[in-house]
Amino acid sequence: MAYDVGDQDTAAGLDFRSDTRTMPDAEMRAAMAEARVGDDVYGDDPTSSALEQEGALLLGTEAALFVPTSTMANLLAVLAASGPDSARPRVITGAHSHMAFLEDAGLRQFAGADLLPLAQQPDGLPDISRLTEALTALPSGGPRQPTVVCVENTSMMHGGSALEASAVGEVADQARRHGAHVHLDGARLANAAVALDVPPAELARPADSVTFSVSKGLGAPAGALLGGSSTFVARARELRERLGGTLHQAGVLAAPALVALRRLPELAADHTTAALLADQLADVPGAEVSWPPHPTNIVMVRCSGLPAAQFAERLADRGVRVLPLPDGRVRFVVHRAHDADSARSAARAVAAMIGSTAVAQPGRHP
């Protein structure tokens, strides 16, 4: 039986805005069509249960919960870590993390969180001395205020840098010495695991809870897993229902997510393509590439004299879509719709765009 998988990337040219723009392919659509379903509100959706069991195995946690988005997984982690009486928590997270700059309003509104953004090192790891300062400062919510320390792996704003388990472990040990819950926002933990050639469970081990997206580079249409202890996940399951995040025939979405979990090794191809794109862009006069210590599928470029929004707009005119960032760089996220030719075409488009734009060209950096 054939499934119409729709236009992947053709109509819009090359779309590097995000790996969320991966489309479910024929295998995933077939899995959706054939998914055994029940009603997850009644706890009898077999495909969701299978996904949660496989997810827990992959993440090395006692249990896992299937949730609609990573944003909800992160919110549930903070809520569940705040205890049964849902005391207002303080959330300590990297100033450039997704939780600090894109989820802060939700965390404040729905978890009543006090957000403490921390300076980050070039690889994206929270600065440990700043972390210690934040942990030892008297919490505004009183001495018993619950504290959640969050680490993002890969670190998106730091060029998609993959963090090693040992480095995250040091942050986690320090956080736990002060009684904090450690949450890992691993929306792209699959990329980190593949780049570092370790199982995701090893990278999740230092944390008390972990978010893992199936709908970024892994290509499922929607969803994320929240892993943690059985008690923690049971609490998160109740909270998910209160938030309205429990889906009835969830198996239709869990089935392609199960396909996604088997595709981790395929991310290596995205990393190879991203490395080629970074190399090609580095050869473009006027383009300045950011080089994270452990790169994955993200490439960030700055072009001095050309604001990010204009960079993105002019490149879109040449059929290549990228995301402008608030710090003046633009972001390319490589995913399964791209190959070596896409990387070369994108770099050529950047070269042509810069060549035809009157910008101050600082020349190659030594």
Ligand X SMILES: *Cc1c(COP(=O)(O)O)cnc(C)c1O
| Contact letters for ligand X, residues 80-119 (x by CB under 6 A) | ------------------x---------------------
Which lies closer to ligand X via its Cβ, residue 3 or residue 101?
101
Q: Closest separation between CB of residue 302 and ligand X, Å?
A: 20
Which helix (H) or strand (E) segment holds residue 224: the answer is strand 224-228
User: By rule CB under 6 A, what count of residues binds ligand X?
Assistant: 12
- Applying CB under 6 A, among 8, 49, 69, 357 the residue interacting with ligand X is 69
Contact 165, 148 (CB under 8 A): no
Which helix (H) or strand (E) segment holds residue 301: the answer is strand 298-303
Which lies closer to ligand X via its Cβ, residue 60 or residue 221?
221
Q: Does 70 bind ligand X (CB under 6 A)?
A: yes
Cβ neighbours of residue 140 under 8 Å, at least 6 residues apart? 90, 114
Which lies closer to ligand X via its Cβ, residue 20 or residue 86?
20
Bridging pattern class, strands 114-118 and 323-324? unpaired
Q: Does 22 bind ligand X (CB under 6 A)?
A: no
Q: Closest separation between CB of residue 152 and ligand X, Å?
A: 5
Q: Which two tokens stand for residue 123?
A: 């690889």
- Applying CB under 6 A, among 187, 239, 267, 299 the residue interacting with ligand X is 187
Q: Does 192 bind ligand X (CB under 6 A)?
A: no
Contact 158, 122 (CB under 8 A): yes
User: What span, in angstroms and rounded, lies between the C-alpha atoms of 128 and 364?
Assistant: 34
Q: Closest separation between CB of residue 84 and ligand X, Å?
A: 26
Q: Closest separation between CB of residue 353 and ligand X, Å?
A: 26
Burial class (CB in 10 A: 0-12, 13-18, 19+), 84: exposed
User: What span, in angstroms and rounded, lies between the C-alpha atoms of 107 and 115?
Assistant: 8
Q: Does 240 bind ligand X (CB under 6 A)?
A: no
Which lies closer to ligand X via its Cβ, residue 116 or residue 224?
224
- CA-based angle 100:217:31, to the nearest 5? 125
- CA-based angle 169:173:174, to the nearest 5? 120
Q: Does 71 bind ligand X (CB under 6 A)?
A: yes
Residues binding ligand X (CB under 6 A): 20, 69-71, 98, 152, 156, 185, 187-188, 213, 224
